[in-house]
């Protein structure tokens, strides 16, 4: 540990933990990660995109992480590995561990007498925990969080300030809920009845698997009848809406501002870009990648990348193209008519 209180690791220590190969001085001391542009002598950076090779040439980093094809692009001490970005993520986690949990329940927390809070959990001021709820060992519940009746929070979770988990919902182990997250609000269940909307009680739960992370102000609605399920390892960005009775498959990652309507199933290992809109009662298969701002009105059953975004162009070009698109149906009709007339003409010639 250095004088600033940070742990210090030699490159040889890092390679011993995570693999790879050191080229150059293996005794270089590293205390933090940084970008190629801002790194200094005690920092380690990485090159994952060859567009940034110029920054690699100019960096002042103490060491860098590179792929084998870039091993000769710098003379600085370097770790050569298969995937520099994933390797960098592991090194960053090593150098920036979460703070140690200080167990205990704050005097200003409101804990129902029937709730069960593990001795090793940390409950901050103004937290509300309902009847028969549970909080597991090592979990941190920050100020202003609300856990409803019969909620289950697993081990080593972190609920940031003002996260809300409605009654009966289940949170797995090592789950992170960022500020403003709402788990288990009612789904949008309504029936049109005699000129007015009739609310349908939402009696399912939300179940989050282990190692799920939910970004700030994201909402996951409870099921209408069955549960809404977010499987293990799913990563949800900020400001996402997931409707009732959805199921998100394990290790899927969803970027910010995505909306998924109710009763849609998303497969495992999917990637959904920011602002995508996915309709209800659909099925998205495993290993599907959906580009940002894509509208998905029907099921996608085959793996692959799918895009519906109209490419950006100068405004006048876009207006002209949009005008053509508006008339595609009429143009298609005219084309069919011309084809029919041509076929008729060819037929007469053959006679």
pLDDT digit string, tens, across residues 170-221: 999 999 999 999 999 999 999 999 999 999 999 999 999 999 999 999 999 9
Q: What does residue 307 show for φ and ψ, rounded to 5 degrees?
A: -140, 135
What percent of the chain stands above pLDDT 70?
Answer: 98
Q: How many of the other CB atoms lie within 10 Å of CB of 63? A: 30
Give the pLDDT band of residue 346 (cuts 50, 70, 90): confident
178 is catalytic: no
What are 7-51's pLDDT values in tens digits?
899 999 999 999 999 999 999 999 999 999 999 999 999 999 888
Compute the distance between CA of residue 319 and CA of residue 313 in angstroms, rounded to an integer: 9
Compute the distance between CA of residue 11 and CA of residue 17 in angstroms, rounded to an integer: 10
Compute the distance between CA of residue 59 and CA of residue 52 in angstroms, rounded to an integer: 10
Per-residue confidence (pLDDT) for residue 5, from 0 to 100: 56
Helix residue ranges, H only, 268-350: 315-326, 328-350
Give the pLDDT band of residue 351 (cuts 50, 70, 90): low
Residue at token pair 């809300």: 164
Helix residue ranges, H only, 38-144: 53-58, 84-95
Asked whether 231 and 248 are in contact (CB, 8 A), the reply is yes
Give the pLDDT band of residue 6 (cuts 50, 70, 90): confident
Q: 317: exposed, middle or buried (C-beta count within 10 Å: 0-12, 13-18, 19+)?
A: exposed
Question: Which residues, including other chains, have CB under 8 Å from residue 229's CB and lie 6 or more apart?
Answer: 206, 207, 209, 246, 247, 248
Could you tell me the two tokens for 87? 């390797």
Asked whether 161 and 181 are in contact (CB, 8 A), the reply is no
Identify the weakest region by mean pLDDT among 17-26, 47-56, 130-139, 286-295: 47-56
Identify the weakest region by mean pLDDT among 48-57, 156-165, 195-204, 230-239: 48-57
Residue from 106, 112, 178, 244 carrying the catalytic annotation: 244
Give the pLDDT band of residue 324 (cuts 50, 70, 90): confident
Could you tell me the two tokens for 63? 């060491």
Could you tell me the two tokens for 195? 């000129």
Compute the distance between CA of residue 331 and CA of residue 318 in angstroms, rounded to an integer: 19
What are 273-282's pLDDT values in tens digits?
999 999 999 9
Compute the distance between CA of residue 175 and CA of residue 223 in angstroms, rounded to an integer: 20
Say whether pLDDT at 3 is over 50. Answer: no
Angle between helices 328-350 and 315-326 in degrees, nearest 10: 60
Name the β-bridge partners of 21: 80
Per-residue confidence (pLDDT) for residue 176, from 0 to 100: 98
Compute the distance between CA of residue 80 and CA of residue 53 in angstroms, rounded to an integer: 15
Alpha-carbon torsion (197, 200, 205, 209), positive or negative: negative
**Could you tell me if residue 103 is left (phi over 0), alpha (psi between -120 and 50 degrees) or otherwise beta?**
beta
Which has the closest alpha carbon to 230: 268, 186, 275?
A: 268
Compute the distance between CA of residue 130 and CA of residue 149 in angstroms, rounded to an integer: 4
Give the pLDDT band of residue 233 (cuts 50, 70, 90): very high
Say whether pLDDT at 86 is over 60. Answer: yes
What percent of the chain stands above pLDDT 90?
Answer: 87
Give the CA dihedral 311, 316, 321, 322, nearest 10 degrees.
Answer: 90
Could you tell me the two tokens for 26? 């293996």
Distance in Å from the first CA to the final CA of the chain: 95
What's the mean per-residue pLDDT of the chain? 95
Q: 49: exposed, middle or buried (C-beta count within 10 Å: 0-12, 13-18, 19+)?
A: exposed
Per-residue confidence (pLDDT) for residue 107, from 0 to 100: 98
Question: Which residues, including other chains, have CB under 8 Å from residue 93's CB and lie 6 or more apart?
Answer: none
Per-residue confidence (pLDDT) for residue 4, from 0 to 100: 53
């Amino acid at each position: 540990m250095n004088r600033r209180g940070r742990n210090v690791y030699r490159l040889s220590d890092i390679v011993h933990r995570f693999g790879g190969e050191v080229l150059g001085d293996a005794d270089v001391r590293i205390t933090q990660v940084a970008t190629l542009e801002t790194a200094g002598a005690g920092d380690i950076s990485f090159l994952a995109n060859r567009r940034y090779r110029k920054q690699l040439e100019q960096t002042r980093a103490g060491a860098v992480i590179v792929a084998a094809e870039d091993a000769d692009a710098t003379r600085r001490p370097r770790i050569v590995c298969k995937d520099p970005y994933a390797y960098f993520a592991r090194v960053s986690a090593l150098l920036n561990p979460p703070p140690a949990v200080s167990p205990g329940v704050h005097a200003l927390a409101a804990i129902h007498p029937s709730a069960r809070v593990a001795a090793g959990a940390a409950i901050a001021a103004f937290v509300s925990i309902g009847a028969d709820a549970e909080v597991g060992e090592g979990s941190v519940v920050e100020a202003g969080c609300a856990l409803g009746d019969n909620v289950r929070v697993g081990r080593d979770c972190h609920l940031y300030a003002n996260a809300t988990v409605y009654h009966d919902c289940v949170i797995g182990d090592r789950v992170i809920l960022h500020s403003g997250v709402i788990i288990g609000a009612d789904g949008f269940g309504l029936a049109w009845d005699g000129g007015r909307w009739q609310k349908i009680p939402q009696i399912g739960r939300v179940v989050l698997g282990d190692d799920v992370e939910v970004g700030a102000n994201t909402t996951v609605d409870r099921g209408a009848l069955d549960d809404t399920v977010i499987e293990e390892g799913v990563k949800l960005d900020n400001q996402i809406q997931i409707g009732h009775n959805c199921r998100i498959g394990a290790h899927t990652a969803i970027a910010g501002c995505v909306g998924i309507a109710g009763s849609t199933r998303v497969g495992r290992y999917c990637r959904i870009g920011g602002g995508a809109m996915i309709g209800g009662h659909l099925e998205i298969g495993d290993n599907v990648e959906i580009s940002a701002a894509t509208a998905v009105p029907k099921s996608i059953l085959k793996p692959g990348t799918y895009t519906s975004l109209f490419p950006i162009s100068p405004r006048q070009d876009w207006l002209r193209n949009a005008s053509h698109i508006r008339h595609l149906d009429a143009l298609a009709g005219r084309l069919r008519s011309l084809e029919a007339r041509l076929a008729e003409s060819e037929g007469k010639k053959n006679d």
